Amino acid sequence: MKAEGRRLPFLLGLSLTAVFVVAAIAGPLLYPADPNAQSLLNALQPPGRQYPLGSDQFGRDVLARVLNGARYSTGIALSVVSLSLATGIALAGCALWARGVVGSGLSLVADSIYAMPGLLVILVVAGVTGGSAITLVLLLWFVKWPEYYRLAYAAGRRIGSSDHVLASYLAGARPLAIFRLQVLPVMLPYLLGIGALSVGQTVLSIATLGFLGIGIAPPQAEWGMMINELRIHWQIASVQLAAPTLAIIWVVLGLLILSQSLSGHRNRMDEAFS
């Protein structure tokens, strides 16, 4: 019963996330309407046969724009989290191996960036340089990698003080091999669980930037920008406004449940610390 109770949240989170991923990958292929095609004569049309989720203020198909926006939100979020996770783990490994001035210096840099107001930094820089997918990936990576570095470094130090790791040191094993074979496999499931949650947070950050008008430039579909454009028409376009809003809630909720279900791996890591 206990194992089944743990499996249900995982299956729910996995199902919600899988539906979103399938919609992002196959949605534009199954529903090939042009998300940027304008028809002012059909502006703000209610849901119907021609527009399943209605049309926006420029007569663009809202369903096509939601599906197309999912691709960009997913691609950017996965790119940011993957780069941040790889950077944080790699630099944490270097800090744990080198120690001394190098380790202290890396920790100081990570702590300094982590202390910055990340969203404010992105708003200022993106507002000056202009929004693009590459710009968003680089800026979000810059403010997110220290989080993974701090987690990996703290976990690595605790795992490094365990008996089996100390025995490997005494046996003459190289620090890099110890980190790769004994430390990384223990901490990685926990970091991946945090990464799943971070993907949802990144999607929310992208939508926030789009809502504020700083992000992917129009006419490219983006959920936050869609909400900002449709909010003044909410009385006659409530379905169109709800579509990108519910898409954001769907992906964030799915990844949150999935991350929480993966948090059981943290217990394994805590056992390895003792």
Single-letter code of the amino acid located at 54? G
- Between CA 104 and CA 115, with CA 110 as vertex, the angle to 5 degrees is 125
Q: Which two tokens stand for residue 203?
A: 């999607």
* Helix segments in 34-180, DSSP class H: 62-98, 100-115, 118-129, 133-160, 163-170, 175-178
Asked if residue 64 has pLDDT above 70, the reply is: yes
Q: Class assignment of domain 53-273?
A: mainly alpha
pLDDT at 146: 93
Asked if residue 36 has pLDDT above 70, the reply is: yes
pLDDT at 63: 94
Residue 97's pLDDT band, with cuts at 50, 70 and 90, is confident
Asked if residue 162 has pLDDT above 80, the reply is: no
The DSSP code for 172 is: T
Full-model pTM: 0.83
Burial label for 136, CB within 10 Å (0-12, 13-18, 19+), is: buried
Domain edges within the chain: 53-273
Which of the residue ranges 40-44, 174-178, 234-238 would you say has the lowest mean pLDDT?
174-178
